[in-house]
Structure 1
Amino acid sequence: MNSHVQNNDKPIRTRFAPSPTGFLHIGGARTALFNWLFARHHGGTFYLRIEDTDRARSTQAAIDAILEGLTWLGLDWDGDVVSQFERAPRHVEVVDELLAAGKAFKCYCTTEEVQVLRDQAFAEGRALRSPWRDRPASEAPAGTPFVVRFRAPDSDVVLDDAVQGTVRWAAKEFDDLILLRSDGSPTYNLAVVVDDHDMGITHIVRGDDHLVNGGRQSQIYDALGWDRPVFAHVPLIHGQDGKKLSKRHGALGAEAYRDMGYLPEGLRNYLLRLGWAHGDQEIFSDEEAIAAFTLDGLNKAPARMDLDKLNHINGHHMARAADVRLVELVMPFLDVLEDRIADTQITRERLLAAMPVLKTRAATLEELARQSYFLLRPRPFRLEGKAAKPLDDEARQRLYRLFTRLSDLDGWTDEALAAELKNFAEAEEVGFGKVGQPLRAALTGGAPAPDLSLVMAFLGRGEALDRIKDQMMADA
């Protein structure tokens, strides 16, 4: 077993701890996925904690968006959602312990005084050290507000990271960190340490923008005499151009990908491969991903967002998805079509009959809707421009003769129709294109569609013959 799996032989516990200031960002979704997979791989527990201590920026709408995004992605958490804000009394309790142990102190410096001290420390190449580290509180002016600061050790900070390896910071890089603000509210790094300890978190997988926080939090763990969790800081996702991910690269919320027609399993599979590898395997079911996921597979190099690859992977999952489920999922996407398509039993029956073929031709649900248009467009439809070009007078005469033969056809199956079209072309003594092009125009109006025999089979005898008749009579 690799050294990153167990932490003092405790049961594996991971967490996802977003700040509720917006939607579930694609990078956050990947972080949640990695923690979920690691916990499920080891039969452990995956918690969700909302880091809502910033009351000015935290909103219920954002919390709801995060929960909705995780639920849609299929990342189920264990137990109740934990609110960091509601745990503030516990955070204060731990600060009192640090004060009693001399590991923290009250600092009465004003904001202006702190800035002077910070500038001086920077000029001298050292960390900010408050003059109140070693001054008794009795010297403080009466009624002066204070913050509680951590007494940062004057020694290097070393973090053994499961992804980054051994990371070292000089003592001069870490100030006397504020633990409690002047209003008594806890700061981020303190609250995170207390919550992760109390929740029994053994492994923290998160973006490497938190790497320095990992160093600061390690100092607090050590000061409290608590075991450090295993940290795994994963490089952030970049755009195709190698720059920090932005909206133009695809830095959207999970719900945006849902609304673009991606399947949750497709997005899960794609996010899995953004910064993690298992040999050359690219397509994973959930069972395969859970069985294979270890921290050793995490990459040290940044991953790049690639929508073409997302489409490729999602297309595989579209082809694997159950036909009945896809019919249900594609219905809201039919509004992308030129005509308003009613949600009727006939609509659903045609989609279901054609789905085994249609789902192999689409990368997203929106594409699936467009691939379905030939089935669902209401008749009669008028052919214009390029779509009408194959239907000259000679072609309409040929359609009339084909209509007569098809009307008398005994079996309306793909095989029987394919054979009949071939026989008809031979009887007409023309290449198949002379039959196929006008027939395709009549049946689909130029919309994307599979082979003609399949088109007619999916439409059914009555609808297929009616569409042919419409174009036969169009100029009559």
Structure 2
Amino acid sequence: MTAASPAKRPRVRFAPSPTGFLHVGGARTALFNWLYAKKYDGDFLLRIEDTDRQRSTDESTRAIFDGMQWLGLTWDEDVVYQGANVARHYADAHALLDSGAAYRDFTPPSELERLRAEAEARGDAFKFDRTLADLSASDLAQKLANNEPYAIRFRVPEGTTEWPDLVHGRIAFPNKDIEDFIILRSDGTPVYNMAVVSDDIAMGITLVMRGDDHISNTPKQILLYRALGAEVPQFGHVPMIHGTDGKKLSKRHGATAVGDYQHQGLLPQAMLNFLALLGWSSGDDTEVMTLPQLIERFSVQGLHAKAAVFDTKKLEWMNGQHLAHMPIDELAAIVAPMIEHAGLSTVAELTANHAWFCGVLELLRIRARLTDEIVAQAPPFFTDGVEYDPEAVAKQWRDAAATADILEATHDRLASLGDWEPAPMEEALRTLAEERAISGGKIFQPLRVALTGLTVSPGIFDVLLYVGRERSLTRLSRAVAFLRG
């Protein structure tokens, strides 16, 4: 065990609220926890915090599951639903009441609103005065006998609450700045901090790693752990994610839901690699890493305290790097259904012509950053004919008669070849260029438009090879007829 290894088997959790889709910030938090668990042979748990019944939806829960599964962030035990644990939250709150760590507050909501408004009018921050809840034994008994509603408030002790944060170092809060906060509402439902602490204790969580917007909740939760006689876990608060303008990431910066990127041609391994580098570094300049490499290199020492920047262009570059280096069979499995969806072929046909399909993918992925871009380049290899881009025609076929003559000669020279392979094709066409005292480009560029309809494509001899003899010669004949028509 290294010095940085945890003293006991780690148990970490990701605890999203099902009130929307899986946000990239949540996915990044989940990833950091998942990497920590994998690095130190621990457990990664998923808890759905669905106690807000009005805002929680089954659709959002499914979106969280789908996003996690697409990224490959699998969890080790059954999903915990916080809403199913309200009875335990209630019991833990009453245990604090019984021990004297909490007290009943019968103050009517209208009175609290009045006091809060008065404080605001004075320019003060409202803080609950526990003397408001002081009752004589007889008054308390009477209110209980009348079944009057009450909230349960935690009795914040004197002193300071501090912890060694794994990201920010020592953080301390004077307890005098923390009001006696409610842990159980008058309707018997727990507030966030009570439910979280109760669940984390029950789940045996050893490290709480989450966004630094939760820092203000941490002293309250530490106080609850101690009052319940539980071991306080470690805490690490990772920075917020900003857009390139330095402001908190939001929809104005583009897509913020993981599912949106899944459907924009992103590879999950590229998304993971990119997310890992939002607030963490491996200690050197290495940026492109596989998931096993991320696990091997991950450490909390590499977590940053400053905000990370979500740069979509960097994400697309990262995706291009993974596209270029992933095993071609894996890429084929991803792209084949996309080719079928585009109406260019079927998965069955691509499976039957697997070697040819992989060869086409090798050509196309070089010029692509997204899998969508591979599909966009694919039609010339699948369709019988091509449409000529007007700009390509204007640029490469300006002299129609001369171009038709060159393409006809190109057709005849290629048709005479015994082997349909790049080397003899190139030799034949370069010889043709020499015979006509023109550069190779004067043949290759018009040929590219005839084969693809475009001015840009993979290497022209590779295009000839994978388009095939019959289709290539047919397209040349069609181009000649078009130019002479």
- TM exceeding 0.5: yes
Shift of 1:464: 1.1
After superposition, the Cα gap between the structure-2 partners of 1:54 and 1:136, relative to the gap in structure 1 and judged at 3 Å, is farther
Aligned match of 2:373 in 354, 367, 372? Answer: 367
Q: Does 1:129 align with 2:129?
A: yes
**2:346 corresponds to:** 343
**Equivalent pair of 1:334/1:369 in contact (CA under 8 Å):** yes
- Percent identical: 38
Paired letter, 1:417: M
What is the deviation of 1:115? 2.8
> What TM-score do the two structures reach when normalised by structure 2?
0.92
Deviation at 1:155, TM superposition (A): 2.2
- Which residue of 324, 327, 332 corresponds with 1:322? 327
1:473 partner SS: helix
Offset at residue 215 of structure 1 (A):
1.5
> How do 1:18-417 and structure 2 match up within 5 A?
18-118=16-116, 127-131=127-131, 134-136=134-136, 138-140=138-140, 141=143, 142-278=146-282, 279-331=284-336, 333-334=338-339, 340-343=343-346, 349=353, 350-376=356-382, 378-383=383-388, 385-389=390-394, 390-391=396-397, 392-417=400-425
Letter in 1 for 2:153: R
Shift of 1:192: 0.5
Alpha-carbon contact 1:374-1:449 (below 8 Å) kept: no
| AA aligned opposite 1:326 | L
Pair 125,445 (structure 1): closer, same or farther in 2 beyond 3 Å: closer
Instruction: From the superposition, tell whether residues 121 and 5 of structure 1 become closer, same or farther in structure 2 (CA, over 3 Å).
Output: farther
Distance in 2 (alpha carbons) for counterparts of 1:346 and 1:300: 51
Q: Which amino acid aligns with 1:130?
A: R
Change in Cα spacing, 1:56 to 1:345, as seen in structure 2 (3 Å) is: closer
Which amino acid letter does the alignment assign opposite residue 359 of structure 1? R
Indicate how the Cα distance of structure 1 residues 259 and 139 shifts in structure 2: closer, same or farther if over 3 A, else same. Answer: same
Q: Is the 8 A contact 1:126 1:172 kept in 2?
A: no
- Structure 2 unaligned residues grouped into runs of 5+: none
| Deviation of the 1:74 alpha carbon | 0.5
* Aligned residues of 1:395 and 1:438 also touching (Cα < 8 A): yes
Contact 1:149 1:176 in 2 (8 A): yes
| Matched AA of 1:224 | L
Aligned residues of 1:156 and 1:168 also touching (Cα < 8 A): yes
Q: Classify 1:251/1:131 alpha carbon distance in 2 versus 1 (closer, same or farther; 3 Å).
A: farther
Report if the CA contact (8 A) 2:336-2:347 is conserved.
no
Conservation of the 8 A alpha-carbon contact between 1:351 and 1:372? no
CA distance in 2, matches of 1:359, 1:383: 22
Give the C-alpha shift of residue 465 in structure 1.
1.1
Q: Are 2:336 and 2:350, in contact at CA under 8 Å, matched by a contact in 1?
A: no
Over 3 Å counting, the alpha-carbon distance change for 1:434 and 1:185 in structure 2 is: same
Shift of 1:135: 2.7
Pair 1:330–1:273, CA change in 2 (3 A)? same
How much has 1:351 moved relative to structure 2?
Answer: 3.5
Q: CA 1:415–1:438 in 2, change beyond 3 Å: closer, same or farther?
A: same
TM-score normalised by L of structure 1: 0.93
Q: Secondary structure at the match of 1:317?
A: helix
Distance 1:205 1:135 in 2: 40
How far apart are residue 384 of structure 1 and its match?
Answer: 5.4
* Number of residue-to-residue matches in the alignment: 471
TM superposition shift of 1:373: 3.2
CA RMSD in angstroms, aligned pairs only? 2.2
Query: 2 CA distance for matches of 1:280 and 1:137?
Result: 67
Flag structure 1 segments of 5+ consecutive residues without an equivalent: none
